[in-house]
Amino acid sequence: MTYCVAISLDKGLVLTSDSRTNAGIDNVSTYSKMFRYETMPDRSIVIMSAGNLATTQCVIEQVRRDIREGNEHNINSFKYLSDIADYLGDVLSSRIRRYSEKEQSGFAPEATLLFAGQIQGERSQAFLIYPQGNHITTSAETPYLQIGESKYGKPVLDRFLTRQTSLIDAATCSLISMDSTMKSNASVGPPIEMLIYENDSYSFANHHVLEADDTYLTLIRREWDQKLNEAFSAMPRISDFIKTTE
């Protein structure tokens, strides 16, 4: 299982992904799910993936090959982020169709992508690309997108994120979201990759890899647990307002 989240803010992007791939309790491996492209001075592009590992690896290899060979359609040739999203959707859906046509018993080739970045002249954006090749982007009301095991980490994002949230606060929120997911699903796990991208920087200097014993990740986990327990203890009890049998 995988968990990735892309947060699109007025000041930039925060992208976070886990690195665990689980094919059963006795077959757990580590693979990066965040792929960064700084191949042109006027753009910064990031792809994150969830789903079938063979499919996502083939998609990423196709993207790299198209750049290397200077094909007509590659992430350097498009003027708009939405066009890159269309291109990635075509690559993904065609790869899934190819695998599906082989009709391998029990084989599920589906995968989903998060694509985010900035091209000079446009604001930074994030897109969720579905297995069918279509895509959506963020909105003012929901400034984030998730793929993979999304349900456990969603509540904290809904409660605290707005487009005006600072990059640092959004980074903290995304790590709490990731920790909540890891606590409830052991198939999501470190190393955790995080990229904090400031608008118009065209730089991935703020890319970080947090291991399981990372000081800040450990502190976030401990402090969040403690604050939640304190908040729960301070909540009014139902027996003060509703007659109970206890």
CATH of the domain at 29: 3.60.20.10
For residue 34, the cross-strand partners are 48
Tell me the pairing of strands 125-129 and 135-137: antiparallel
**Residue 238 gets which letter from DSSP?**
G
How far is it, in rounded angstroms, from Cα 16 to Cα 116? 11
Please say whether the beta carbons of 112 and 85 come within 8 A.
no
173 occurs within a structural domain? yes
Task: Retrieve residue 181's tokens.
Answer: 């997911």
The answer to whether the pTM exceeds 0.95 is no
pLDDT at residue 162, rounded to an integer: 98
Overall domain count for the chain: 1
244 occurs within a structural domain? no
246 occurs within a structural domain? no
243 occurs within a structural domain? no
Please say whether the beta carbons of 197 and 124 come within 8 A.
yes
How far is it, in rounded angstroms, from Cα 113 to Cα 105? 24
> Within 13 Å, how many C-alpha atoms sit on residue 134's CB side?
2
39 occurs within a structural domain? yes
245 occurs within a structural domain? no
How far is it, in rounded angstroms, from Cα 236 to Cα 223? 22
Please say whether the beta carbons of 25 and 183 come within 8 A.
no
Structural domain including 44 reads 3-237
How do the pLDDT tens digits run along the chain, 246 residues long?
A: 799 999 999 999 999 999 987 655 555 678 999 999 999 999 999 999 999 999 999 999 999 999 999 999 999 999 999 999 999 999 999 999 987 876 565 667 899 999 999 999 999 999 999 999 999 999 999 999 999 999 999 999 999 999 999 999 999 999 999 999 999 998 899 999 999 999 999 999 999 999 999 999 999 999 999 999 999 999 999 988 988 775
